[in-house]
Amino acid sequence: MPWALILGGSSGLGLASAKKLAAHGYNICIVHRDRKSRLDDLEVAFSEMIAHGVRVINFNKDALQKENRKKIIDQLPKQRVKVLIHSVAKGSLKPMSGPGTKALSKEDIDITLHAMGSSWYEWTRALIDADCFSKNARNIAFTSEGNSKAWPGYGAVSAAKATLEALMRNMAVELAPLDITTNCIQAGTTETPSFLMIPGSDTLAKMAKKRNPFKRLTRPEDVANAVYLLCSDEAKWINGTVLTVDGGESIR
C-alpha cells in the first residue's frame, strides 16, 4: 500500500486530505503540532482512518526542525511514499510599517518564508535523499489567492505563497526525471483553524461566501477531493501548475 506523508495533517486541509486518502487505501503519516487538549479528538480521526484497513502513524513534532525531519523520515519505508502534502500554516500577520516590533521584521519574514515556503523543498529533498518516494509520486502544497493579492498584514504570508509556487514550478521541472510531479492547489476561502486566527476572518468569510458563485465557502473536503484527483493515475501529466479549487470565488 502506498504512503501519504502529510505535514500539518491534524486539521484543516491536511487532515481532510488524510481522511480522503485513507479511505482510498493510503497508509498515512501525519506530522503535526498540537496541544494535549486536542489529542483526544485527533485519536478519533485516526481511528476512523484505521478502520479503512490502512496504517496511520503520527508525530506530534515541529515539522520545521531538521532533527525531527530526519527522525520521521527514518521511520518511513523506502520507495513507498507516493504522496507528500505540505499543509503547514504558520506565519506573521504584522503590518509593513509602524513602531518597532509591531511592524514586520526580517525575522518575521524569514520564519514565514521557511514555514510556508522553503520547508516544502527541504522535506522533498530529504525524502529523495532517503530514497523514500515511490514511482509516479505526487508532491502537493496548498496556496491561496494571497499569492497575487495584497491585503494589509498579509505581506509575509503572500511572499511565502509566492515562494512556495516558485519552488513548485522549479521542482516540477527538476524532479520530473525522478518521476515526481509537483503542483499546488489554490483553495478558496476555507474556515480552517489557521484561517480563523486571521483578524477579521469573519468578515472575510462573509464576503467570500457572497462572492462565491455557489454562495458557500470552500470546505476542507472540497480541497481533499482535489488532492485525491491529483493522486490518481489519470493526473500524471498535470505537473508544475496551480489548480484552483474554489468554486469560482477568485474570478469575481
Window 140 to 199, contacts with a copy of itself (CB under 8 A): 147-152, 154-155, 158-159, 161-163, 165-167, 169-178, 181, 188
118 binds a copy of itself (CB under 8 A): yes
Q: Which contacts qualify for 67-70: CB closer than 8 Å, 24 or more apart?
A: 68/31, 69/122, 69/123, 69/126, 70/126
The correct pick among 30, 42, 83, 243 for binding a copy of itself (CB under 8 A) is 243
For a copy of itself, which is the closer residue by CB, 32 or 69?
69
The correct pick among 68, 136, 201, 241 for binding a copy of itself (CB under 8 A) is 241
Among the listed ranges 8-16, 72-80, 195-203, 243-251, the one in contact with a copy of itself (CB under 8 A) is: 243-251
Burial class (CB in 10 A: 0-12, 13-18, 19+), 86: buried
235 binds a copy of itself (CB under 8 A): yes
213 within 8 A of 188, measured Cβ to Cβ: no
- Find how far residue 199's CA is from the centre of its chain: 21
201 binds a copy of itself (CB under 8 A): no
Positions in 86-105 near a copy of itself (CB under 8 A): 95-97, 103-104
CA–CA separation, 85 and 185 (whole Å): 10
User: Which segments of 87-132 are extended strands (E)?
Assistant: none
Residues contacting a copy of itself: total by CB under 8 A: 72
- Residue 82, classed as helix, strand or coil, is strand
214 binds a copy of itself (CB under 8 A): yes
The correct pick among 76, 93, 111, 128 for binding a copy of itself (CB under 8 A) is 128
For a copy of itself, which is the closer residue by CB, 9 or 155?
155
For a copy of itself, which is the closer residue by CB, 36 or 100?
100
For a copy of itself, which is the closer residue by CB, 42 or 226?
226
For a copy of itself, which is the closer residue by CB, 57 or 126?
126
CA–CA separation, 92 and 109 (whole Å): 7
Run of H or E residues at 205? helix 201-211
250 binds a copy of itself (CB under 8 A): yes
CA–CA separation, 36 and 41 (whole Å): 10
Q: Which residue(s) pair with 181 in the sheet?
A: 138
Among the listed ranges 34-42, 72-80, 134-142, 218-226, the one in contact with a copy of itself (CB under 8 A) is: 218-226
Supply the minimum distance, in Å, between the C-beta of residue 67 and a copy of itself.
14
Query: Hey, how many other C-beta atoms are within 10 angstroms of the C-beta on 66?
Result: 9
